[in-house]
Amino acid sequence: MRPPGLLRAALLLLGACANYSTGTARARTLLQDCRFANPVAAGADPWVVRHDSAYYLVQSKDRTIWVYKSDQLTEPTQNGVPVWTAPRNGWNRSNVWAPELHYIDGRWYIYYAAGKSGPPFIYQRSGVLQSVSDDPQGRYVDKGMLYTGDDVREGSENIWAIDLTVTRLGSQLYAVWSGWEANATTDRTPQHLYIARMSDPWTISSDRVRISSPTESWERGTELDLNEGPEFLQRGADVFIIYSTRESWLKDYRLGQLRLNGPDADPMNPSSWTKSGPVFTGAGTVYGVGHASFTTSPDGTEDWIVYHSKVDTLPGWDRVIRMQAFGWRPDRAPDFGTPAPTGSPIRVPSGQCR
């Protein structure tokens, strides 16, 4: 029931009582509570995109991909709709991982990884879905597996690939993903970042080029060396790839950075990218931060990082979704700061609280 008039007015002035000590997700009860606390939801590999004043989050659950729609960035799991379920047979029938939602030339595309079986997860490949309409929560058709091998002309053996993302630089569409040098019989195989050109959102049109390997001391793991979860981040003429490194199931998962060496640099040339890091690591009781996406506040004045973290230090993939604003350094590189502590009050994105 609603509180009486005077009490309701007082509550609106004081703001809502929130359980900031635990950081549990809260229902949006009073609009004047202009704070939130991390984590905001259970989940992993969060991909958030803002479009027409709404925020869309895409997640995989078992064999199904869900798209959520919210008018508030800090409440991303509102209004979820299942948009696609993996077939019972085929290359992509299980282990649907890390979907991303991209709006390209009037259609929505969901890029995801899946395999025919696992564990061991040795059959993962990258696929793409195309929306039937311009509604990101509408029906999608399966456009098939993307080619992530070494000979696109001959279409020779496709090679293990996950976390594929896309962007347009100038007039050219590119794909970047995490992959193996060659297919293997164990999923404890080093992962690298590859780039290729695309002729359309569902067709890779060039051979892949490796642009990053886990060679730096801060990238080297104790059980597996990997680069994964690449995401483009652009600001003006500056282009970055923010990626995850070290083992995703351990507490030292973190973010690294590749920076394109100027607007005239060729993204397909490995020497065009400069690596630095780590650019975001766990702190305090926030462990295993990684697999980020990037968006803006409702009024467009703030940049926000959305990422996941582990719930504890034990090996495993029990993770939650977090977010916070970030800034920019004098050299025009992103400054992600340190993870906001669990339960710590944070002001909501600019323009959200009205």
Query: Would you kindly state where each structural domain of the chain is located, as residue ranges?
Result: 34-347
Burial of residue 104 (CB within 10 Å: 0-12, 13-18, 19+) is middle
Share of the chain above pLDDT 90, in %: 90
pLDDT tens digits along 74-124? 999 999 999 999 999 999 999 999 999 999 999 999 999 999 999 999 999
Q: How confident is the model at residue 11 (pLDDT cuts 50, 70, 90)?
A: very low
**What share of residues in the chain are helix, strand, coil (percent, to 5)?**
5, 45, 50
How far from 119 is each of 163, 251, 303, CA to CA, in Å? 18, 22, 37
Task: Give the residue from 251, 252, 253 showing the smallest Cα distance to 311.
Answer: 251
Task: Give the residue from 292, 253, 295, 260 showing the smallest Cα distance to 276.
Answer: 260
The answer to whether 277 and 218 have CB atoms below 8 angstroms apart is: yes
How far from 57 is each of 155, 213, 318, CA to CA, in Å? 33, 29, 19
Has residue 347 got a pLDDT over 60? yes
Has residue 298 got a pLDDT over 60? yes
Please state, in angstroms and rounded to a whole number, the distance separating the CA atoms of residues 292 and 294. Answer: 7
Number of Cβ within 10 Å of residue 268's Cβ equals 16
Query: Quick one: DSSP state of residue 11?
Result: H
Question: Where is average pLDDT lowest: 30-44, 47-61, 248-262, 283-297?
Answer: 30-44
Please state, in angstroms and rounded to a whole number, the distance separating the CA atoms of residues 345 and 247. Answer: 30
Number of Cβ within 10 Å of residue 134's Cβ equals 12
* Paired strand residues for 320: 42, 309
Residue 342 phi/psi, 5-degree rounding, is -55, 130
* pTM confidence score: 0.92
Mean pLDDT score across all residues of the chain: 92
Instruction: Give me the amino acid identity at 2.
Output: R
CATH classification for the domain delimited by 34-347, as one of 1.10.540.10, 1.10.760.10, 2.115.10.20, 3.20.20.70 = 2.115.10.20
Residues 324-331, mean pLDDT to the nearest whole number: 98
Question: Where is average pLDDT lowest: 26-40, 291-305, 319-333?
Answer: 26-40
Helix residue spans in the chain (DSSP H): 5-14
CA 140 to chain centre: 20
Residue 32: the pLDDT is 56
Residue 354: the pLDDT is 78
Structure-block tokens of residue 130: 């195309």
Share of the chain above pLDDT 70, in %: 91
